[in-house]
Structure 1
Amino acid sequence: MRPSGWSNTSAPYIRPRPDGEPDAWTEEAAQRGHVGTNELREVGEIPAPADIARDLNIEGQPQQVVVRRRIVLLDGVPIELADSYYPASIARGTPLAQPGKIRGGAVRLLAELGHRARKVEETVSARPATAIERDLLGLDAAEWVLVLRRVTRDDAGTPYESTVMTMVAGGRELRYEHEEG
């Protein structure tokens, strides 16, 4: 089952969660009578791809980033690929660079490390799905994906996270809201 007519707000995804609270996706899906989960596909340190280097303001020099790649599921069905990138200088030696769930979530860990979201920039584009995306998301050859790119900056304006979310596009409208409160 793929969601349609689902309105989303980014705010819960960029705020640290208190102890004992489910992650934002689990909570959002449950509020709509569904089960939302994530599967971690890969965690590792890699050379920064050009677009990620630009997002993280580390262009022009060979830089390493830590990537966490996840498959987002709704009622057990893959609906999104989410790849989060962090400068290695921030993530190296932390749970961000280790396989497995992060106690309290990445947003909370980053806040504890001094990186709390102050400004979030999101862009959405659409394109044909790649072969890997078709395989992981169970798409047909002609299907397209929506790509939401989120760059998160701290109080100093320093970008510390770039997340690329590749979503099933068929019959889906995305509406995002963000209020700072």
Structure 2
Amino acid sequence: MSSDDAWMGEAQPYLVPRGAGQGDAWSAEAAAHGRRGGQRLLAVQEVEAPQPVRDFFGIHTSEMVVVRRRLITLDDRPVELADSYYPAHIARGTPLADARRIPGGAVTLLAKLGFTPESEPLEDVAASTATAREREELDLPARTPVLVLTRFTMSTTGTPMEVSVMTMTRHLQYRQRKQAS
């Protein structure tokens, strides 16, 4: 996506459970801009978590997590890889661990399971050069820069519930909220 295609986005719609019959937040956001957003589920599996995920979940190296890997598209063009990690004790035996779409998205399911996301998760943004996997999945030439946004989400009761790592090729504008002093 070129910077001419950019729009101001916010994390909040991705943290609010969707109502019955509502599609996912990305498709709704893209449609609001006259575009077509989509996603394709690439994999759902139990894996050893990367270090930042282990640290956030407070788990040991040998403990597994469930990861849902998705390719995010805009007007049928790949624009983002999104890997969402969940503690295995939360995800096992639920649709989070199944290789199929979740109506309303993972945040809706998590809320039904008693894990309502906090309203202001920690987000970390970094830039890097696309890896071989990212270049292949996102159809990028060698040495292409990407933004990596990692969102660490706890439930309103303080339980670490999700880490999403979003590797994107598009322009990102970010809105910050002022906290009361």
> Structure 2 length normalisation: TM-score?
0.91
CA distance in 2: counterparts of 1:178 and 1:158, whole angstroms = 23
Q: Does 1:69 align with 2:61?
A: no
SS of the residue 2:35 aligns to = coil
- Deviation (angstroms), 1:135: 0.9
CA distance in 2: counterparts of 1:158 and 1:22, whole angstroms = 26
- Deviation (angstroms), 1:103: 2.2
CA distance in 2: counterparts of 1:121 and 1:33, whole angstroms = 30
2:122 matched to which residue of 1? 121
CA distance in 1: counterparts of 2:63 and 2:101, whole angstroms = 25
CA distance in 1: counterparts of 2:6 and 2:102, whole angstroms = 31
1:168 matched to which residue of 2? 169
Q: Contact 1:2/1:79 (CA < 8 Å) preserved in 2?
A: no
CA distance in 2: counterparts of 1:38 and 1:49, whole angstroms = 23
Q: Contact 1:6/1:175 (CA < 8 Å) preserved in 2?
A: no
SS of the residue 2:123 aligns to = strand
CA distance in 2: counterparts of 1:83 and 1:21, whole angstroms = 22
Letter in 2 for 1:99: A
SS of the residue 1:8 aligns to = coil
Q: Contact 2:48/2:61 (CA < 8 Å) preserved in 1?
A: no
SS of the residue 2:135 aligns to = helix
CA distance in 2: counterparts of 1:135 and 1:40, whole angstroms = 16
Aligned residues: 177
SS of the residue 1:101 aligns to = coil
Q: Contact 2:123/2:149 (CA < 8 Å) preserved in 1?
A: yes
RMSD (Å), alpha carbons? 1.8
2:146 matched to which residue of 1? 145
Change in CA separation of 1:84 and 1:35 when aligned onto 2, cut-off 3 Å: same
Change in CA separation of 1:178 and 1:117 when aligned onto 2, cut-off 3 Å: farther
- The structure carrying a bigger strand percent of its residues is 1
Q: Contact 1:2/1:74 (CA < 8 Å) preserved in 2?
A: no
Q: Does 1:104 align with 2:104?
A: yes
SS of the residue 2:121 aligns to = strand
SS of the residue 1:66 aligns to = strand
Q: What does 1:1-181 align with in structure 2 at a 5 Å threshold? A: 2=2, 4-58=5-59, 60-118=60-118, 119-169=120-170, 172-177=171-176
SS of the residue 1:43 aligns to = strand
1:72-95 CA-to-partner distances (Å, cap 9, x unmatched) read 000000000000000000000000
SS of the residue 1:42 aligns to = strand
Change in CA separation of 1:178 and 1:159 when aligned onto 2, cut-off 3 Å: farther
- In structure 2, runs of 5+ residues without a counterpart are none
CA distance in 2: counterparts of 1:62 and 1:175, whole angstroms = 36
Q: Equivalent pairs: percent with the same residue? A: 47
CA distance in 2: counterparts of 1:178 and 1:26, whole angstroms = 24
1:135-168 CA-to-partner distances (Å, cap 9, x unmatched) read 1111111211000000110123221100000001
Change in CA separation of 1:63 and 1:175 when aligned onto 2, cut-off 3 Å: same
CA distance in 1: counterparts of 2:172 and 2:151, whole angstroms = 18
Which runs of structure 1 show a deviation greater than 6 angstroms over 4 or more consecutive aligned residues? Answer: none
